[in-house]
Amino acid sequence: MFKNTCPLTVTMGHYIEKKVIRGRAYYYLTENTYKDGKWKKTRKYLGIATPKGFEKPRRKNPKPILDEKEIKSIETIRKNYSKVHHLDSRLWKEERERFTSFIFNTNAIEGNPVTLENTDTVLSGGHIKAKKKDVREIKNMKMCIDFLFSYSGKIDEQLVLKLHKMQMEGVLPESGQYRSVDVSVGKYICPPSHEVPKLMKRFFIWLNESEKDVPAFELACLVHLKFVRIHPFRDGNGRMARLLMNLVLLKKGYPLLNIFNDEKLLYYLVLKKVDITRRPKSFVEYLFSTYIRQYEEYAKSNIR
């Protein structure tokens, strides 16, 4: 028999390890080393963004979340709505009540106290007794919607930063800039600020690829969901998510989707469920039922 004259050291090489803690994924560069009869694991933290090469190959034709009947209902709404309305700036006159409601609700969800009636007054050029910030949020949202009607380009970083600056001008000093601080929403801990640029880059790549094979309504829902999970700005993320969701719909010829403030609790509960399950189905189904209720007459009737 031979006797070892020096310690035996065996290194198994580096690999990427994924750890899930409380429903959230963390990635590490890991190395296993065998020395003196013991295995030692050394980890280097990489972040929460999925490292390049670790992702599973993306399916070219992912299975739709909604069934054929539900997708058909959405398409019926699109066709019937387009028969009686223009999906451009003229829609403000044709559907003023609906747009006023959208501006009121998307701001109210985020804590703006101005009433629906006073929101309409501001949009009509009138004056109300309210904080300048609250009034500015109403006017800014109107400008954002007007801009979306005139925008025909793709959804990219330039657009998102421009839209956020427009939305938060005079409200947030860092308007149009990704956040430089770490934030959380309730119990949800958002990605670290230094991860935001990389995550947003991946978001735009995903969106560009998904436009080819994901049904338009589902894509709009997923844009909302993925955007709020990244939470790229210090404030205004919920309103931005709802604007981008509706931009996807408008570009594809679908009417606006409004999430109502009096359903805020349900809205947040569904988002929380996605955080826990890591599956978007419940959120897409929730927005589908909301959309059908809003356009019930267009889903059922055969308008000529």
pLDDT, one tens digit per residue, over 131-176 is 999 999 999 999 999 999 989 899 999 999 999 999 999 999 999 9
5 lies in the same domain as 124:
no
Contact at 8 Å (CB) between 140 and 170? yes
Asked whether the predicted pLDDT for residue 18 surpasses 90, the reply is no
Q: Name the domain boundary from 14, 29, 57.
A: 57
263 lies in the same domain as 123:
yes
Which of these ranges, 30-44, 192-206, 261-275, has the smallest mean pLDDT? 30-44
15 lies in the same domain as 73:
no
2 lies in the same domain as 95:
no
CB atoms within 10 A of CB 145: 21
Number of structural domains, the chain? Answer: 2
For residue 83, give the amino acid letter.
K
203 lies in the same domain as 293:
yes
Q: Cβ-count burial of 147 within 10 angstroms (0-12 exposed, 13-18 middle, 19+ buried)?
A: middle
Tell me whether residue 219 is in a domain. Answer: yes
209 lies in the same domain as 93:
yes
Where in the sequence is the domain holding 244, given as residue range(s)? 68-300
73 lies in the same domain as 52:
no
277 lies in the same domain as 173:
yes
- Give long-range contacts, CB 8 A cutoff, 24+ apart: 67-76: 70/288, 71/215, 71/217, 73/292, 73/299, 74/215, 74/217, 74/254, 74/288, 74/291, 76/298, 76/299
- Give long-range contacts, CB 8 A cutoff, 24+ apart: 147-154: 148/243, 148/246, 148/247, 148/250, 149/87, 149/88, 149/89, 149/91, 149/250, 150/89, 151/247, 152/251, 154/208
Read off the pLDDT band of 13 (50, 70, 90). Answer: low
Active-site residue (options: 14, 85, 194, 231): 231
pLDDT at 39: 63
Q: Is 127 a catalytic residue?
A: no
Tell me whether residue 222 is in a domain. Answer: yes
188 lies in the same domain as 144:
yes
118 lies in the same domain as 205:
yes
The span from the CA of 11 to the CA of 20, in Å, is 25
Tell me whether residue 63 is in a domain. Answer: no
Tell me whether residue 62 is in a domain. Answer: no
Contact at 8 Å (CB) between 300 and 77? no
23 lies in the same domain as 73:
no
73 lies in the same domain as 117:
yes
